[in-house]
Amino acid sequence: MSQETINIEIAGRSYPLTVSLEEVDGIISAAEEIDAMIANLKSQFAVQDRNDLLAMTALQLSLKIKEIESSGGAQTKAQSGSSSENKEEEIKLAASVEDLLQRLNSAMEE
């Protein structure tokens, strides 16, 4: 499995990550989503502290993951075809986001 080092930017900070080639697009997409969520929180509320913004974003993402996990078996027959493919993609993205959050936490602790 080939590895690639990429730099992602979240909340104005750059984070170098070594990921498999298969993960690159998902990680970049997840980082962009996280950054957009942070920008949204920043514009909606008077919160400027990076740690507060990251914590609230992590909470929102965790809630999304829980929603996806709990709705995994709640599909109707009419939704099964492409919808099940969408659910699989959502679950993969959620797993990528969760992995990225863990890596970011590790990087911030160093």
Q: What is the largest CA-CA distance in the chain?
A: 49
Q: Using one digit for the tens of pLDDT, what is the confidence trace for 6-25?
A: 999 998 999 999 999 999 99
Where do we find the tokens 């962009």?
A: 32
Answer whether residue 90 shows pLDDT above 90. Answer: no
Ramachandran class of 12: left when φ > 0, alpha when ψ lies in -120 to 50, beta otherwise: left
Q: What is the arithmetic mean of pLDDT over 29-37?
A: 93
Give the pLDDT confidence of 43-79 residue by residue, as tens digits.
998 888 989 999 999 999 889 888 888 887 555 444 5
pTM of the model: 0.64
Classify residue 57 by burial, with Cβ atoms within 10 Å: 0-12, 13-18, 19+.
buried
